[in-house]
């Protein structure tokens, strides 16, 4: 997510191994792409990551008035449904936090947030601006999971760190899945233990045997 012109489309292209486009072409509506990602800390997990290039306001479709379909944007789609991570992009040369502040408030608390500054190659300091650090500190204080990074999609500065960062939402999703499995195992274990104590298992066996005898008559 991010204002127009911050390099969202170029970011996805870089993660796909494609070259960075030097010509700015505005994205008309929300688009979905996939990247193949392999974690560096395990040889077993290779996954296909679904990436949404989110557009807050789609271009007006001139054919909509003639029965055409309106273009899709964030005003008509829940972009956070089944979302593990939101990359909030900003231009490191921009002095305003207004967009980032408004979007952070709309993101569900369990979703990991990365405040990603682009065009880091065009500024002398590679340190995260104080305004971003302050914004992240406030979000962390409110219980959100916020990280910061500066990159350049043009020169690939720190793109390796971004690729490594993808491991966080992957591991969170994997942990939540394992916790759900453990919860189910505990519930089944408790049920089996109670059935054995109450002799329910033997009663069910007797009922099944009577049913088999009846059917085999």
The confidence score (pLDDT) of residue 62 equals: 59
The confidence score (pLDDT) of residue 93 equals: 93
Distance of CA 140 to the CA centre of its chain: 18
Radius of gyration of the chain (CA): 25
The topology under which CATH files domain 8-165 is Rossmann fold (3.40.50)
The confidence score (pLDDT) of residue 127 equals: 84
Q: What angle (nearest 5°) sits at the alpha carbon of residue 17, between those of residues 32 and 2?
A: 45
Compute how many other C-beta atoms are within 10 angstroms of the C-beta atom of residue 181.
10
Return the structure tokens found at 76.
Answer: 């008509």
The confidence score (pLDDT) of residue 158 equals: 95
**Is the full-model pTM beyond 0.85?**
no
The confidence score (pLDDT) of residue 201 equals: 60
Q: What is the mean pLDDT of each run of 10 residues along the chain (217 residues)?
A: 95 94 91 88 78 92 56 93 96 92 94 96 89 92 93 95 92 92 94 78 66 70
The ranges assigned to domains in the chain are 8-165, 174-215
How far lies 133's CA from each of 25, 57, 61, in Å? 30, 28, 39
Return the structure tokens found at 152.
Answer: 């350049």
């Amino acid at each position: 997510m991010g204002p127009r012109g911050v390099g969202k489309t170029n970011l996805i292209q870089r993660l796909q191994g494609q070259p960075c486009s030097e010509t700015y072409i505005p994205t008309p509506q929300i688009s979905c792409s996939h990247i193949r990602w392999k974690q560096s800390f395990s040889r077993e997990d290779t996954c296909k990551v679904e990436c949404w290039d989110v557009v807050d306001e789609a271009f007006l479709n001139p054919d909509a008035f003639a029965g055409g379909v309106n273009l899709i944007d964030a005003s008509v789609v829940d972009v956070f449904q089944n979302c593990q991570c939101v990359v909030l992009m900003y231009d490191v040369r921009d002095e305003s936090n207004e967009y980032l502040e408004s979007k952070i408030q709309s993101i569900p608390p369990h979703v990991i947030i990365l405040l990603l500054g682009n065009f880091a190659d065009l500024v002398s300091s590679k340190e995260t601006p104080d305004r971003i650090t302050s914004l992240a500190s406030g979000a962390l204080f409110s219980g959100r999971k916020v990280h910061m990074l500066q990159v350049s999609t043009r020169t690939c500065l720190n793109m390796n760190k971004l690729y490594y960062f993808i491991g966080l939402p992957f591991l969170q999703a994997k942990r939540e899945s394992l916790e759900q499995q453990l919860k189910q195992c505990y519930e089944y274990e408790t049920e089996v233990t109670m059935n054995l104590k109450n002799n329910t298992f033997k009663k069910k066996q007797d009922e099944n045997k009577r049913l088999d005898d009846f059917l085999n008559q």
